[in-house]
Amino acid sequence: MTSSSQLLIPLHVRYIQSLGENKDDLTYHLTAHLRMNAVYWGLTALCIMDHKDALSKDETIEYVMSCWVDEAGAFGPHPDHDPHLLPTLSAIQILVIHDALDRIDVPRVTKFILSLQQPSGVFAGDQFGEIDTRFLYSAVNALSLLDQLHQLDVEKTVSYIKQCKNFDGGFGAVIGAESHAAQVWVCTAALAILDRLDVIDQDTLAWWLAERQLPNGGLNGRPQKLEDVCYSFWVLSSLSVLRKVSWIDADKLTSFILSAQDTENGGIADRPGDLPDVFHTIFGVAGLSLLGYPGLVDIDPVYCMPANLIESKGLRKGWEALPRKAS
């Protein structure tokens, strides 16, 4: 095993390219319900590593469109799977990255998204009614990418997030739920898109987020939990929106992420020694990008998409990442 003090970009690019190839992998088939998300994670990771063309644009778009469920006006995660807000967002993000938004029936998708808002302001994921601030964020993000944010009842949406605020400054999945870094990110990012960061107790929340860093340099998602590479994104991007990325130790976090690489087969795992997957690969790479790791492309922490793309659509908000190191 070689030393992992560097991000092994060519290896991770090959890892992402290989993801769809091993049709004998049981895990691959057991996660079909996440496939659209996985395609978005892999594509975004490639963009940040400046290898956007490593996967075929046409095949990707074809896959996305094969998941369109016409009667719903939305996307599922895989052909013949039921439509849902999460794969719908990922589909939109993929098409935006490939400049193929014209493939979408925008009014119908907008209708689907808006139909999922509940009287309380939160969004359900589908007609079966599970509610979660993750879905609220997905709706706000998707509507903004579709340039349909003006159709959203912003007051109602913001008021739900306000009610999710906890004693520690953080946010949970629903009203009353414990603060969790991933839920903090979705609420913070949604508020950023809606220009309502005033809702946040910024000092308290930035403090809670800074305390996620553990002695080994990794970040956890809640007090007393284990470090995990994916929190390199959830925590870091939240801090980035609050302009407090400097409140954690960048060098220690960088070392932690790099140590979670699979130096033989590529990909990044949740922590050193574990099996890699595309989820932890994107969030490890995204975290490194926010930390200014040399050779990476800027990522927008609000959208988790390439920053220049978001900026070109006029959607960039006031976040701050660490400056890109020269080498």
The residue among 208 and 319 lying less far from another protein, judged by its C-beta, is 208
Q: What burial letters (b/e) apply to 101-117, b meaning 16+ CB within 10 Å?
A: eeebeeeebbebbeebb
Please, are residues 168 and 208 in contact by the beta-carbon 8 Å criterion?
yes
**Angle, CA 324 vertex, CA 220 and CA 218 arms, to 5°:** 15
The residue among 208 and 303 lying less far from another protein, judged by its C-beta, is 208
With H, G, I as helix, E, B as strand and everything else as coil, classify residue 259: helix
Q: Which of 296, 185, 315, 165 has the alpha carbon at shortest distance from 242?
A: 185
Q: If phi over 0 gives left and psi between -120 and 50 gives alpha, with beta otherwise, what is residue 271?
A: beta
Task: Please choose, out of 41-49, 141-149, 203-211, 295-303, the segment that lies near another protein by the rule CB under 8 A.
Answer: 203-211
Please, are residues 46 and 11 in contact by the beta-carbon 8 Å criterion?
no
The residue among 51 and 165 lying less far from another protein, judged by its C-beta, is 165
Least separation in angstroms between CB 234 and another protein? 14
- Window 19 to 78, contacts with another protein (CB under 8 A): 24-27, 29-33, 76
Least separation in angstroms between CB 289 and another protein? 20
Least separation in angstroms between CB 140 and another protein? 20
Least separation in angstroms between CB 265 and another protein? 9
Least separation in angstroms between CB 148 and another protein? 26
Which of 10, 223, 294, 318 contacts another protein by CB under 8 A?
223
Which of 210, 292, 295, 324 contacts another protein by CB under 8 A?
210
Please, are residues 304 and 317 in contact by the beta-carbon 8 Å criterion?
no
CA–CA gap between residue 169 and residue 172 (Å, rounded): 10
CA–CA gap between residue 55 and residue 187 (Å, rounded): 31
Which of 211, 292, 316, 317 contacts another protein by CB under 8 A?
211
Sign of the CA dihedral with 137 first, then 306, 143, and 243 last: positive
Least separation in angstroms between CB 69 and another protein? 11
Please, are residues 318 and 300 in contact by the beta-carbon 8 Å criterion?
no
Q: Does 180 bind another protein (CB under 8 A)?
A: yes
Binding string, residues 234-273; x marks residues near another protein by CB under 8 A: ----------x-xxxx--x---------x------xx--x
Q: Which residues bind another protein (CB under 8 A)?
A: 24-27, 29-33, 76, 80-82, 84, 126, 128, 130, 166-168, 172-174, 176-180, 206-208, 210-211, 213, 217, 222-225, 228, 244, 246-249, 252, 262, 269-270, 273-275, 277, 279
